[in-house]
Structure 1
Amino acid sequence: MTAETAVRRTDASQTTEAPPREWGHGLPAAGFLTPFLLLYLLFIIGPALYGLTMSFFNTSAVKPGLNSFAGFGNYAEALQSSDFWSSLWHTFWFTILTTPPLIVLALVFALLADRVGRGRWFFRLAFFVPYILPSAVVALIWMWIYTPGLGLIEAALTKIGPTSPNWLGDPGWAMPSLAMTTLWWTLGFNFVLYLAGLQEIPRELYEASAMDGAGPWQQIRSITVPLLGRTTTLVAVLQVIASLKVFDQMYIMTSGGPDFATRSILQYVYDSGFTNFRIGYASAVSMLFFLVVLAVSALWFTLVRRGEKEL
């Protein structure tokens, strides 16, 4: 056998197409996925399509079923409603107050917990435990903390000197108070995501940079932050979506007050559908809010990814 013949046979063996898969090769995987797909269609896609259909009708909770056809009338009414825009602004304001600190503080605490020598498990548990509490429990705890005359914050401020404001009763303080509650409650989720990202960074990079004379701050700026870019993108997008969907703590702690200063868009949907019994109008507001969340998430994702590339 000559060398040229051997090369030709080698090339022929490399270019040979892979044998086709036998029929039914993916049936076991499809069988396992089918129950989830059916539940997803039944409880997610189905209700979403039905809500979209109801948004074009004057559907009422008093008279079940699709009533008179409204076309885009519900959408036009929502876009012309000052209550809709004020609720949407409250939702954006809450997102602005909560998203940056929930990203930055989660990263800072994750760095500290990752570098601690002993008792690392305790710090990880301490930061994550509030996240597993139900929203009603968190709301009741912080309502007691904010209670005028009896709350822990007022008692602490009284000993220091300054007068405690009416945290949940003052329109200027109600939203920051809710943001602080949410910060304490949900910080643990982002904290765990950053911890998982830190575990993926090779320790050899820190050792090599230390041998070159890099200090802790230089290591964080040049190694940790760039390599956590994808984790930061994930945390940022998830946090924006979660903040935009705020409902529980606002509804329980303030019921949208005082003077509707903390009524989110989801509470406006709830009030329209289950208080005013206008299911069709509430469905239209929900669809508009879905488009807003989709647009904001796409924009935020683009900005974060662009910042990640610049690092």
Structure 2
Amino acid sequence: MSTETVTPRARPADAPRPASPPARGQGGPATGFLAPFAVLYLAFIIGPAVYGLIMSFFDSSLVRPGLGHFAGFGNYAEALQDRDFWSSLWHTLWFTILTTPPLIVLAFVFALLADRVGRGRWFFRLAFFAPYILPSAVIALIWMFIYTPGLGLAEAALTKIGITAPAWLGDPNWAMPSLAITTVWWTLGFNFILYLAGLQEIPRDLYEASAIDGATPWQQIRRITIPMLGRTTTLVAVLQVIASLKVFDQMYIMTSGGPNFATRSILEYVYDQGFTNFRLGYAAAVSMLFFIVVLAISAIWFSIVRRQEKEV
């Protein structure tokens, strides 16, 4: 009976080598560098959030030390039955609806135009991004002057073309659109930069090949640019929805929730309850309810995006 010697097959030279496990203690420096951030994150983000959740179950007051008496779900029940809570929540959602679509569409259009400029591209980048770096108080004062009746630039421009200017911040029907216009002008630059970065990642060979095949510029945008910027659009949309839901500064400075509470956002409602009416426990409960709303909207949006990615 003969025996055969089996030799192991040689592994090709270009075959990937299995990754070796990290040596023990190799992650120590990384943990050391991350430790200060983790401490600050726990101290100023997680800690206040947990304390706010605990506070929402008590009738805590700004003028009384300690948590106060245990209220259970009383603060939550009161908030859900308060018409002011629902109206401020609707104002926040309405502001989000007014600002999110133009901040996505205009940012994409302006980024597309700036990307195709031959000379002076730096100027357009600076011009669109410059308002975003200004503080909210500066933006509010600038646009309050623009909207000033009788003296504002908006009224002067409309009067020259024969249009009667509305009471921008004094009319309940125009106050929220006026704030939306201010916010679009202010924050457009951030989304503009994201889209511009995404456009620069698209290979130019795709456009050259499509031009040889006879594709028009609009067909290139519809068949190449928009699909290739799908993930960028998702990122911009998610960030914009969350940012619009957290609106506070420009509303509080320009209108203080008026006229007749027509522009009071949910965060301003929390501020009024906590620091004007001194009801910290109730304000904490409203904050937790708002957190649930934001979490639900984000979950719905991510589910829609995942379905679209699976279909593609």
Q: TM-score of the superposition, structure 2-length normalised?
A: 0.94
Work out the CA distance in 2 between the residues paired with 1:17 and 1:158: 73
- Residue 255 of structure 1 corresponds to 256
Kindly state the Cα deviation for residue 200 of structure 1 after the two structures are TM-superposed.
Answer: 0.8
Kindly state the Cα deviation for residue 190 of structure 1 after the two structures are TM-superposed.
Answer: 0.3
- Residue 105 of structure 1 corresponds to 106
Q: Which runs of 5+ in 2 are unaligned?
A: none
Q: Which runs of 5+ in 1 are unaligned?
A: none
Work out the CA distance in 2 between the residues paired with 1:17 and 1:225: 38
- Residue 5 of structure 1 corresponds to 7
- 1:233–1:305 CA contact under 8 A, matched in 2: no
- Residue 161 of structure 2 corresponds to 160
Work out the CA distance in 2 between the residues paired with 1:10 and 1:207: 41
Work out the CA distance in 2 between the residues paired with 1:173 and 1:120: 36
3-state SS of 1:118 partner: coil
- CA deviation vs aligned residue, 1:39-96 (integer Å, no higher than 9, x gap): 0000000000000000000000000211000000000000000000000000000000
- Residue 96 of structure 1 corresponds to 97
- Residue 64 of structure 2 corresponds to 63
- CA deviation vs aligned residue, 1:161-183 (integer Å, no higher than 9, x gap): 11111000000000000000000
Task: Give the superposed CA RMSD.
Answer: 1.9
Work out the CA distance in 1 between the residues paired with 2:181 and 2:281: 35
Instruction: Tell me whether 1:37 sits opposite 2:15 in the alignment.
Output: no
- Residue 128 of structure 1 corresponds to 129
Kindly state the Cα deviation for residue 272 of structure 1 after the two structures are TM-superposed.
Answer: 0.2
Q: What amino acid is the match of 2:7?
A: T
Work out the CA distance in 2 between the residues paired with 1:175 and 1:268: 16
Q: What amino acid is the match of 1:241?
A: I
Q: What amino acid is the match of 1:63?
A: R
Kindly state the Cα deviation for residue 304 of structure 1 after the two structures are TM-superposed.
Answer: 3.7
- Residue 274 of structure 2 corresponds to 273
Q: TM-score of the superposition, structure 1-length normalised?
A: 0.95
Work out the CA distance in 2 between the residues paired with 1:49 and 1:157: 51
Kindly state the Cα deviation for residue 308 of structure 1 after the two structures are TM-superposed.
Answer: 5.2
- 1:226–1:308 CA contact under 8 A, matched in 2: no
- 1:229–1:308 CA contact under 8 A, matched in 2: no
Work out the CA distance in 2 between the residues paired with 1:280 and 1:303: 35
The 4+ residue runs of structure 1 with deviation greater than 4 A are 14-20, 307-311
- Residue 226 of structure 1 corresponds to 227
Q: What amino acid is the match of 1:143?
A: M
Moved more, 19-28 or 119-128: 19-28
Work out the CA distance in 1 between the residues paired with 2:90 and 2:211: 47
Q: Percent identity?
A: 79
Work out the CA distance in 1 between the residues paired with 2:126 and 2:307: 33
3-state SS of 1:257 partner: coil
- Residue 283 of structure 1 corresponds to 284
1:21-32 aligned within 5 A: 21-32=22-33
Kindly state the Cα deviation for residue 159 of structure 1 after the two structures are TM-superposed.
Answer: 1.1
Kindly state the Cα deviation for residue 310 of structure 1 after the two structures are TM-superposed.
Answer: 5.2
- CA deviation vs aligned residue, 1:189-227 (integer Å, no higher than 9, x gap): 000000111111000000000000001100000000001
Kindly state the Cα deviation for residue 20 of structure 1 after the two structures are TM-superposed.
Answer: 4.7
- Residue 213 of structure 1 corresponds to 214
Kindly state the Cα deviation for residue 113 of structure 1 after the two structures are TM-superposed.
Answer: 0.3
Kindly state the Cα deviation for residue 301 of structure 1 after the two structures are TM-superposed.
Answer: 2.7
Instruction: Tell me whether 1:78 sits opposite 2:79 in the alignment.
Output: yes
Kindly state the Cα deviation for residue 18 of structure 1 after the two structures are TM-superposed.
Answer: 6.0
3-state SS of 2:227 partner: helix
Q: What amino acid is the match of 1:67?
A: G
- CA deviation vs aligned residue, 1:218-241 (integer Å, no higher than 9, x gap): 000000000100000000000000
Kindly state the Cα deviation for residue 158 of structure 1 after the two structures are TM-superposed.
Answer: 1.2
Structure 2 CA distance for partners of 1:231 and 1:3, relative to 1, 3 Å: farther
